[in-house]
Structures are given as structure tokens and as C-alpha cells.
Amino acid sequence: MGKANAPDPANKPPVVRCAIYTRKSTEEGLEQEFNSLDAQRESAEAFVKSQAHEGWTCVPDRYDDGGFTGGNLDRPALKRLLTDVGAGQVDAVVVYKVDRLSRSLLDFARLMESFEAHQVSFVSVTQQFNSATSMGRLVLNVLLSFAQFEREIISERTRDKIAATRRKGKWAGGAPLLGYDVDPRGGKLVVNDAEAERVRAIFALYLEHQALLPVVQELGRRGWTTKRWVNKAGRQRGKVRYKHEVHEGEQPALVDAATWQGVQRLLQAKGHPGGGPGRGTRGFLLQGLLRCAACACAMTPSHSRRGTRRYRYYVCTRAQKRGWDQCASKSVPAAQIEAFVLEQIRCLGRDPAWLAQAAAEVGLHEAETEGRADGAEVALEALDSAWPTLTTEQQARVLDLLVQRVAYDGGKETVSITFRADGLRALAGELAAHTTGRTA
């Protein structure tokens, strides 16, 4: 009798390994013993437990992104989750709400494509749907469209408020610069007299030396550091900037207009413009990717002129700020290191071992590895032929897809490149689109 009523092992549902992903846009409250991420996870765990009869079970790893926006995919826990999805270690991704995974319709579509490619379903606990069904996918797209609309409306309102505030000459919030404090009554900046004297002294030092490094070294000898938080008041008027507009500000100025303009002219003449260009806008393809291996600092674009010729460099930020004797790498000619990196990328198409390894790292089964490696080789061969037709921005995009980081060690004269595991697949798709557009 007992045996007749016992569950039949043959009818036991297959195990569904559920990865719970949580996210919070700000770090506020994360120090609490039970925070928003814990609340999201608790709700998701309860939902998974309610589906235990279907074989659902939580994987032990936690995927928590605290203090990261949902507007992009640059989140450490999400990257780990995608790696585990690609490795076949997850069957379902569970979130508290759809917008915890992403607030961008385009990014979400890419995530769904990745999940579907690896037969991973997506579940939102509070919105009661499952992407494994056609109705669930329809509801998902509708909800995500509204989530992106809400995000864009909030961004527009924030930009409009900042613009209106700046045009009235008011402080728009954030950390005040050296020389100013926030009025204890709130809403505006007031002068910190002691810091204001230092600001004027710094301007005077630059006009005297007409170079940044001697000024930085002198500030170091004096022991002058960054902003100190002390509140004091002042009386003169200054200006505020919004994009390319300059408006009269209600806070007092720290230096007179003639001194300010003199310093700006010197900075521009020496190749130190007020705002750095984005990567690709001036041909610096490795901007944001290149780091100094000797001192673990970023290497930033710079240039010099000799007559009508312009020479591009990447300079170690430590050497730039503290002096050339502080770093073994110092600087490297931009054209030289960019050509080296591009040549290494083109050589990948002739390296079957690397292609097989890259294919394996994106979670392909052994039977699929050969086909994906062939596709990657085609993509890299296409890159070699298509490269002369690409714009600077498109070349920068290729590097974004393939390269995670480039490290240069000037002392050892070595360059190491860290490639993205899933870059070849993304590159193949974009190159195919480019080729189709070119031949259409």
C-alpha cells in the first residue's frame, strides 16, 4: 500500500537552476543589515520555493549590483551572471521587477537574445510572467517599453532643471569646488576665504611658471590638498557654465576675469583644452582602454606640435600629474601602439588555438566550437579588408567589441592585450551589417 502511494522517480520534473539577480541604482541604504537588495532576493527566493514542485531551485551564487544604473550593462554582477549563463550553469533568471535587469529596451533585447540562445527563461516575480511563454514575452516587451519611457522622462526633467538653474546663475548641486562651501541654509554657494586665497595663489603660480608640473610640485611642497569642508561667506559675483553658455552666477568670483582668461589662453596654447574629447573624435583609438602597467594608472591622450605637424601620445596620468620621474612608462607614441594593437587583432584570424579558446569562453559546447571558430575567423578576415572603409568612430567601436584592456609597460617595453570573450560573435554581426550596407 505504501509503495503504491510513493512518488514515481520517473515522473520527477527536471531541475531548473534559478539565478536571482538584484540591483539598486544608488548606494544609499546598502550599509543597512537588511537592505533593498536583500528584500528583492527574499521575494525572489520565496517565488522559487513556491515552484519547487516544478523542480525549481536557487543556485548558491549571489548576483547583486548595488549602486549601478539600469541604463547600461556595465555591471559586475550582471557580467558574472551572463558568464554563468553562457557556461550552461543557469536555467532561469529571476528578478523582483523587469527594470532591475535593465531599463534600456535595446540592452534588454540583447539580454533576451542571449538567454534564448542558451535556453534560459526570464521571470519577474511581481509582474507575474515567464518569458518561456508567448504571452509572457508580449507582456515583457510592453512593460520594458514603459520602463524605458519612464527613464527617459526622468532624464529629460533632470536636464531641464539643471539648465534652468544654471541659466539663473544658481548652483545646481553636487560637491562644491575648492574655494566654495555650501551655505548652511542651503541652495547656494558661499566663499571659503582661506581656500579662495589658495585658488588665487594657484592661478598666480601657473601664470608665473606657465607649466602645470612645476605648479603641481610646488603645491605638493606646500602640502596643499583637495577640498576641505568648512563653511564661510563672501560678497563678489561670479559666473556659471551650462554646456557652451556662460551666465552671471549668484556666488562670488574667486579670481578676476583677466587672470582667468590669461590662464585659459595658456592652457589652450599648450594643448590642455578645458574638456577632453571622446574616444575616436580626435583619432585616439585606445582612449579609455590603455593603462600603464608600471604604476596601474590610466594613460590619457596628449599631443604636441612642431611647425604644422601634430604628434599624438598616450601619457601616464601619474607621470603627467607628479613628474616624469614618477613612472617608468611615461608616454608612448599613439600611432605606434595603436598599430601594434590592430595588428594583433588581425593576427587572431590566423590563430586557431586562440579562436577555439575564445569560442569555449562564451559557453559553446565542444561540438559547436569548430563552427564558431570558423565564423570568428571569417569575421576577423572581413575586418582586415573592411578596415580602410571604416570611420574613426567605427574603428573605435571594433576595439570596444574586442578589447577589454591594453596594458603598456615602458620599463619592460611590453604590451599585453586582454580580449573580451564574447567579442568575436558581436563583431561578426556588426561586420556583416557593415558589409551589407556597403554592397547595397
Fold for 12-152, please state it.
Answer: Rossmann fold (3.40.50)
Kindly give, in sequence order, each residue whose CB lies less than 8 Å from that of residue 257, ignoring residues fewer than 6 positions away. Answer: none
Q: For residues 289 and 340, is the Cβ–Cβ distance under 8 A?
A: no
Q: For residues 305 and 268, is the Cβ–Cβ distance under 8 A?
A: no
Predicted pLDDT of residue 37: 92
Residue with cell 519611457: 149
Q: CA 386, CA 285: separation in Å to the nearest integer?
A: 17
The enclosing H or E element of 217 equals helix 212-222
Predicted pLDDT of residue 6: 47
3-state helix, strand, coil in the chain (%, to 5): 50, 20, 35
Q: What is the pLDDT of residues 104-114, one digit of tens each?
A: 777 887 888 88
Measure Cα distances from 164 to 211, 240, 246, 324 in Å: 36, 12, 13, 44
User: What CATH number does the domain located at 180-269 have?
Assistant: 3.90.1750.20
Predicted pLDDT of residue 39: 92
Candidates 286, 340, 339, 343; CA nearest to 315 is: 286
Task: List the chain pLDDT tens, one digit each, 440 residues.
Answer: 444 444 455 567 899 999 999 999 888 777 787 888 999 999 999 999 999 999 999 999 999 998 888 888 999 999 999 999 999 999 999 999 888 988 777 788 788 888 989 999 998 888 766 666 676 667 667 766 766 677 678 778 777 776 676 666 666 666 677 777 777 776 677 888 888 888 888 888 888 877 776 777 777 788 777 665 544 444 444 555 545 555 555 667 777 778 877 777 777 665 554 444 444 444 688 888 888 888 888 888 888 877 778 888 898 888 877 777 778 788 888 888 888 888 777 776 556 666 565 555 444 433 343 444 455 556 555 565 666 666 777 777 778 888 888 999 888 888 888 887 667 666 666 655 555 555 45
Predicted pLDDT of residue 80: 94
Domain chopping of the chain, boundaries: 12-152, 180-269, 290-439
Q: What is the pLDDT of residues 116-126, one digit of tens each?
A: 899 999 988 88
Rg of the chain over all Cα atoms, to the nearest angstrom:
28
Predicted pLDDT of residue 367: 39
Tell me if residue 262 falls in helix, strand or coil. helix
Sequence length of the chain is 440
Q: For residues 431 and 345, is the Cβ–Cβ distance under 8 A?
A: no
Candidates 84, 92, 101; CA nearest to 132 is: 92
Measure Cα distances from 328 to 215, 296, 324, 411, 414 in Å: 22, 11, 8, 5, 12
Tell me if residue 407 falls in helix, strand or coil. strand
Candidates 392, 372, 390, 393; CA nearest to 382 is: 390
Predicted pLDDT of residue 89: 94
